Amino acid sequence: MLEVETPVLCRAGAVDEHLDPIPVLQRSGEEPLYLVTSPEHSMKRLLAEGSGPVFQITRAFRAGDRGRLHNPEFTILEWYRPGMDHLGLMDEVEDLVRGIFCGAGTDAPMDLSEQASRPFERIAYRDAFRSAIGIDPFRTSIEDLGQIALRHGAVLRAQWREAASLGGFREEDRDGCLNLLLALAVEKTLGADRFTFLVDYPATQAALARLRPGDPPVAERFELYVRGIELANGYHELTDPAEQERRFVEANSRRRAAGRPVLPVDRLFLDALRAGVPACAGVALGLDRVVMLAVGAETIDDVIAFPIERA
């Protein structure tokens, strides 16, 4: 596998409804630049050029992310495997993470080394919601989802509060409600006694992942959890340029409707997809959180020399 280095400063990056890149101030008339939320686009451009499997440890940046587990600047290990799907990549992630935590000694909380020695669990998104809060996330009406989110103490965006007061959530609010319920009620149940892969996300949450047909169709995407903390996010990567562009356009439309800035579409990335990114799987592993857990720290601030307030 080839170690690579890609730019952290780009003209365009992922267009995601929920992720905000950090813009870099430019002189008047200059093209805007952004700090990347992920090196994914650049790494796939290398795949299109025939690089073969690639990895890097790099910085990524996301505006507004701050908390016990979040800092606007963070470190990730990201890699891509041509010829592999998300199922095979989960096996590889499991081997890597087991090696990390089984070597962490006894300082890890709740004996994470023992947890890591057990086979990792795989649970479907639908089953996780059913187990945690007794609903089918694919079939429950948007109105019921909104009211359930309110009962779980969700802090809703202004337009949601208005919708709730008028008694009418909108279908486009579904993913927002599901994300809130995941954060408030479902995540804390994941990885309680063993590391857990959450799989088969709703098709509307595929981002850059392929879809698997079915009733309903699901995204070939996974996230790895332990003790309710997400450590990794991976995809069986979408390589269809038309579908990817359509998703970017839809994400920008939802951003506009929510009053968030529209983001530039990465045309160089779409050109790479047209040229032929090989079938592959990719994953990003959050190293700050891994280190935090491995040394028994309570927050990522304990393992970052300069959190944003002291940067």
| CA distances, 284 to each of 57, 241, 260, 303 (Å) | 10, 22, 25, 19
Same domain, 227 and 252: yes
Q: 97 is written with which tokens?
A: 């993470």
The beta-strand segments (E) located in 92-217 are: 121-124, 196-202, 211-212
Write out the chain's pLDDT in tens, 311 residues: 999 999 999 999 889 888 899 998 777 777 889 999 999 999 999 999 999 999 999 999 999 878 999 999 999 999 999 999 999 999 999 999 999 988 655 455 557 888 999 999 999 999 999 999 999 999 999 888 888 887 876 555 544 555 555 556 677 778 888 988 999 899 999 999 899 999 999 999 998 999 999 999 999 999 999 999 999 999 999 999 999 999 999 999 988 987 889 999 999 999 999 999 999 999 999 999 999 998 889 999 999 999 999 98
Residues 216 and 95 grouped into a single domain = yes
Q: Do residues 134 and 227 both lie within one domain?
A: no
Same domain, 302 and 223: yes
Domain that holds residue 186: 128-192
| Token couple for 222 | 């996974």
> pLDDT value at position 268?
96
How many CA atoms lie within 13 Å of 153's alpha carbon, on the beta-carbon side?
3
Q: How far is CA 6 from the centre of its chain?
A: 19
pLDDT at 308: 92
Looking at the structure of the chain, the number of domains it has is: 2
Those residues with Cβ within 8 angstroms of residue 128's Cβ, 6 or more apart along the chain or in another chain: 186, 189, 190, 198
- pLDDT, residue 32, reads 84
Same domain, 251 and 292: yes
User: Which of 192, 213, 248 marks a domain boundary?
Assistant: 192
CB atoms within 10 A of CB 153: 9
Let me know whether 115 and 135 are in one domain: no
The DSSP symbol for 186 reads: I
Q: How many CB atoms lie within 10 A of CB 205?
A: 18
Residues 158 and 59 in one domain: no
Write out the two tokens for 152: 């779980």
Q: Which of 281, 231, 266 is nearest to 74 (CA)?
A: 231
Same domain, 157 and 221: no
SS3 60: strand
Residues 16 and 116 occupy one common structural domain: yes
Q: How far apart are CA 278 and CA 52, in angstroms?
A: 9
> Which 8-state DSSP code applies to residue 289?
H
Q: Which amino acid is at 210?
A: R
Query: Both 107 and 154 in a single domain?
Result: no
Q: Do residues 93 and 227 share a domain? A: yes
If asked whether residues 166 and 292 sit together in one domain, one would say: no
Boundary of a domain, candidates 170, 192, 214 = 192
Residue 264 and residue 255: Cα distance in Å, rounded?
A: 12
Q: Give the H or E element holding residue 90.
A: helix 86-102
Q: Which among 137, 171, 192 is the end of a domain?
A: 192
Between the CA of residue 95 and those of 188, 196, 231, 262, what are the distances in Å? 23, 13, 14, 39
d(CA 148, CA 173) in angstroms, rounded, equals 13
CATH number of 111's domain: 3.30.930.10
Residue 144 in tokens: 């019921």
pLDDT given at position 145: 87
